[in-house]
Structure 1
């Protein structure tokens, strides 16, 4: 699920849900679900437009993965 970060991209670049889904190789519905449950953080532009900082999302998913490994 995780891909290496491209070091030439700015880490604070904001991605659309579609861009994030493509980067993580998951469906747009998965991104929406992870956002609505608070698993991944987003910034809302206006009332409805979510945007994602890639470094924040990667950190959140890494923390989630580490937490799942600790439960075993």
Structure 2
């Protein structure tokens, strides 16, 4: 967040990908962490808008993931 604060942006785009999910982290915990980042950006850094984007798979996973991927 220090990097973001250095630039004082009006809009912050926060890309969230499936590699942000770990086996020992629940979806609820990830949601809470994302909300914390958004809250900090708006409250402390004074970002006007935060856009949270889901990044999709670019290729077949090379290891097992919790969420099946069908790229075809």
TM-score, normalising length: structure 1:
0.32
Structure holding more helix per residue: 1
Highest RCO, 1 vs 2 (Cα 8 Å, sep ≥ 6):
2
Give the structure with higher Rg (CA).
2
TM-score if structure 2 supplies the norm length? 0.32
